[in-house]
A and B are shown apart, each in its own frame.
Chain A
Amino acid sequence: MTNSILSAQHLSKKVPSTEGQLTILDNVSFYLAQGDSLAIIGRSGSGKSTLLGLLAGLDLPSSGEVVLAGHNLNTLDEDQRAAVRAAHVGFVFQAFLLLDSLNALENVMLPLELAGHANPKQRASELLIRVGLENRLAHPVNLLSGGEQQRVALARAFATQPDVLFADEPTGNLDSQTGESISDLLFEINKELGTTLVLVTHDEKLAARCQQHLRLEAGRQVDQTCN
């Protein structure tokens, strides 16, 4: 566990509801070494996205702990967790979450500029070329197809060379062919950069490409396997 980049110990999340406390995640534990990939799989409502949020420090667990890049997230406040994300984390979302008001290049430049990168434009252009969008640099993102938008999101996620990439249903909004090409790209760049990948999906085929699998059912960890 010495080279663990991400670990979870007895993670639980409970939320208040009209019928008392509702447990949406119950006693989840695992650890990931640098460069590993983990697929979190399960049906809708099984707690996959909740777990992703806790692992990325977007939310805090009701009990248990998450250690990300050596930082115990439970002991950090919101701004300290944000600093950890800035230094170590990248995201890809099912809904892409690109900023409509910016073009493709500007969307990728944004995290680089926030991180004070010396030449954000060059780096963003290289990444967009890498994801096959050399002809779409100045396009408004709302005029791009779904596949193209997710490529921009991939370029943005890898722009700051994060240690851990969290991907929430990255192909969920795409047809199978486009989805496949996006997942190819995701795993290729992941391999090139040696990024640790945490992938939330209900697509078994996509999950099969990861080294580790964690299956959730009604918030409980029912299975953890390694390829």
Chain B
Amino acid sequence: MQLTFITLLKLASKQLLRERHTSELRILFFALVIAVASSSTIGHFAERLQAAMQLRAGEFLAADLILAGSEEAQPEQLATIQNLNLNTAQTVQFASMLATDDGIQLASVKAVDDHYPLRGALRSSEQLYAQEISGGRPQPGEVWLDAELITSLALQLGDSVEIGAADFKVTRIITYEPDRAGNLLSFTPRAMINLADLPATDVLQPGSRVRYRQLWSGDAQALERLRNLLENNLLPHQRIEGLEDGNQQVSSALDRAASYLNLASLAAILLAAVAVALSANRFARQRFDQAALLRCFGLSRRHTLWMFCLQLLILALLASALGTLIGWFAQLALFELLAGLLPADIPAGSLKPFATGIATSMVMLAGFALPPLIALGRIAPLRVLRRDLLPAAPATWLLYGSVVFALAVLMWQLNLDMRLTSALLVGGGGAAAILGAGLFFGLKSLRFWLAKRSLAWRLSLGHLLRYPINSVGQIMAFALILLSMALIVLLRSELLDNWQAQLPEQAPNHFAINILPAQQADFSSALHAISSNTAPLYPVILGRLTQINQQPAANRIDPEARVMRTLQRDLNLTWTEQLPKDNQIVAGAWWPIEQATNTADTPYQVSVESDLAAQLGVGVGDQLTFHIAGTDYLARISSLRTVDWNSMQPNFFVIFNPQQMGNVAHTWMTSFYLPQHAEQQRIDLAKAFPSVSILQIDAVLRQLRDILAQVTLAIELILLFVLAAGITVLIAGLHSTLTERVQQGALVRALGASRKLLMQSQRNEFALLGACSGLLAWLGCEISSYILYRFAFNLAWQPHPWLIMLPILGALLITAVGMLGTRKVLQSSPLQILRGH
């Protein structure tokens, strides 16, 4: 019988339409819908949320992407990107003296054009410590100044100051500058002017130290193209700054949230995959007779297989269409629910999650439904006469190969770290094999125990023990469902706790810098009187790293490496006896307090931050030369430290041994917490110590808290989604195994078993199934969480005692769902069930 593809397609569609009421088709359809809906909801939601979060993160840069350089961007560089339809702005930053009739003061001058900032807004006030005004920028002829400059130069608003050859009128006091938040400790106070006034100052001369920044904002795809174009034409002095340079806390929070969302997607997909595998298996088993009949009618093996494959393909397409539609509406509903909490200008999502959703269902079908389907092509036509004939099982390599291939494709599509996820899968697979084998022998050993038990136990366990391999498969599938749900709950708690710990309620929200040595004691006692949380005071010296092991440092470093920036500017150095809180020694040893060495032939000792050391390619014992206040200091690295940059404490790349540095000119700095209502105390402190600069980082902290709250909320919602998907899949999965149980229950009832006995035996069976699944899920969860914490999230791992609840939870859940599914046996006449009505 020669059938064309079109004929086969027509026949398959007709068959599908005719069989649309069958339960196995419905379950398979809904499993696919759940898979696509969850992956596309999470996909849409994560994509839009990520974009929204990036908008917020962009506020710390005042843009989405920046090209920074010591010279202006070349016109030919900018010409290539004119068609990208991006917003653009320009700033120029340099150090210059501000002069008034009464004095001068070094300031960091920033000239901004009329589009700055592209993200976020400047905040300013018209009097010291007065109400903030959001938005605006200096107009030509105006200068906006930091409070510190107003105080130190004794200026009033409306006064005039000179920058280079030009005069400016002071019109506002800057209280918040979005792109300065990322670099809280840029100590030189700010003066901001309009870019149009820059030529008139005549300050910039060839060789001046200037930072030119070209800012862009706009559509993510255009930005990606821009980044590519810039990378291809980057000049040696230039550097591209993205969101990762904005604020370390925000970008690390976003990174973790993105990893979490992707893992949650994978969990949702795995859940649905279990449902697809179970229901496809049922679909295939229910069609053994049909396949044999078709072969009797003369359909070839290949056409028989195609007929069923096409049916599933059509089903998958329909499920994908419905799933992506549900996904789209679900994410709209999610954003609607969160309307008050998320930024108003959330970018619209792309079509990618739609395509991803459809691809997901296809890949899942190929990986998880193909092996049972292949059995349909292998069915012997003789089955029409001998019903006991079962198709030869597909080769093991095909079975596992297709699953592994499907998972690999899904992971690739989710941008998951391949090495990590492979480790997870291989580890998980290995653990599953060992645990599965243990379970198999455990079940077999139950036979001895069973002989002496009541009839209810014998009935329930008899069912599990008759096909131990099948039972192990079922238990593993349910374990995977419980594991996915538990893991997502687990990771959520850890991430949230971690973020909470980063930003405790009373985290320091002010920095005080430029404290003179003579003021140190007074300032410290004044601070302790008003603040409940103050960091220690640290001396600050400015120094530049000039040599590594007595070779010019610049020669040893790749000119394009990020660390070059560290070499090109003064570093804030300090000295201290005690290792600062939140720092940890990772190599070498911290100096003993009593150690005092400062002889001419002994180098100074320094402790260096470990990441910087890695970028510089140095370790304990290497020598660094610092140029400090006109003198070179040769220092030997005695230890490497990790630093918690998120701690809101003064943090330093390089710390000197205190016994050696006491005489170097320095100022002091600290950070402290003041509640919002303590405005007056802050003003009093500033007035009592006019030369001390007090930087408020409340706004930054608020923004950080906002972002973390939003990400937290997103994670909570995704968690709910995964849990809902898990429960649905559990129901679908269990349902696909019920036919045989219902049949057997009816038979036992027909033989005279009471409803009570039947209920008891079913309850025992489901409880045992659930408890075993929970037990496996518990062990699997600990193993996978260990791998994930260690390699994906950099979190410390500890056992989770509450996971011991999983066997109990599994038993309760599966018993409830199972009893609900088999209630038919108890409610309808056994004859009806046995006759298949």
Contacts and interface: CB of A to CB of B under 8 A. Distances in A.
Interface string A104-116: 0010001101111
Contacts of A79: 300-302
B1 A86 contact: yes
B552 to A, nearest CB: 79
B1 A101 contact: no
B385 A116 contact: no
Contacts of B385: 49, 52-53, 58, 93, 168
Given A99-B290, A106-B18, A143-B837, A114 B298 contact: yes
Contact of B298 (A86, A103, A142): A86
Interface string B377-391: 000111011110000
Contacts of A116: 3, 7
A109 to B, nearest CB: 9
Contact of B11 (A78, A83, A89, A113): A113
A78 B294 CA distance: 13
Contacts of B7: 116
Interface string A97-140: 10111110010001101111000000000000000000000000
B294 A85 contact: no
B528 interface: no
B297 A111 contact: yes
B1 A58 contact: no
Interface size class of A (residues with CB under 8 A): 20 to 34
Interface string A18-61: 00000000000000000000000000000001001100101100
A101 B21 contact: yes
A97 B297 contact: no
Contact of A78 (B297, B301, B386, B837): B301
B19 A101 contact: yes
Of the listed residues B1, B7, B14, B380, the one surrounded by the most CB atoms of chain A closer than 10 A to its CB is B1
B299 interface: yes
Contact of A58 (B21, B290, B299, B381): B381
Contacts of A49: 385-386
A101 B285 CA distance: 14
B291 to A, nearest CB: 11
Interface string A187-209: 00000000000000000000000
A100 B836 contact: yes
B1 A83 contact: yes
A87 interface: yes
A168 to B, nearest CB: 6
Contacts of B387: 95
Interface in B1-55: 1, 3, 7, 11, 14, 18-19, 21-22
A53 B383 CA distance: 10
Contacts of A142: 836-837
Contacts of B570: none
A82 B382 contact: no
B244 interface: no
A87 B300 CA distance: 13
Interface string A70-87: 000000001100111111
A114 B18 contact: no
B296 interface: yes
B381 A102 contact: no
A158 interface: no
Quick one: which of A82, A113, A168 has the most chain B CB within 10 A? A82
B293 interface: yes
A83 B300 contact: yes
Contacts of B302: 79
A176 B340 CA distance: 77
Contact of A114 (B299, B380, B836, B837): B299
Contacts of A110: 293, 297
B295 interface: yes
B72 interface: no
B384 A91 contact: yes
Interface string B51-87: 0000000000000000000000000000000000000
B18 A82 contact: no
Nearest to A140: B21
A93 B18 contact: no
A53 B381 CA distance: 9
Nearest to A84: B298
B114 to A, nearest CB: 71
B14 A113 contact: yes
B1 A102 contact: no
A58 B296 contact: yes
15 contacts: A56-B296, A58-B382, A59-B382, A82-B1, A83-B300, A85-B296, A89-B298, A93-B384, A93-B385, A97-B384, A102-B19, A110-B297, A111-B297, A114-B294, A143-B837
Given A142-B836, A168-B385, 16 more contacts: A78-B381, A79-B300, A82-B295, A82-B301, A82-B381, A86-B1, A87-B1, A91-B384, A93-B384, A95-B387, A97-B384, A99-B289, A100-B836, A101-B21, A116-B3, A143-B837
Interface of A: 49, 52-53, 56, 58-59, 78-79, 82-87, 89, 91, 93, 95, 97, 99-103, 106, 110-111, 113-116, 142-143, 168
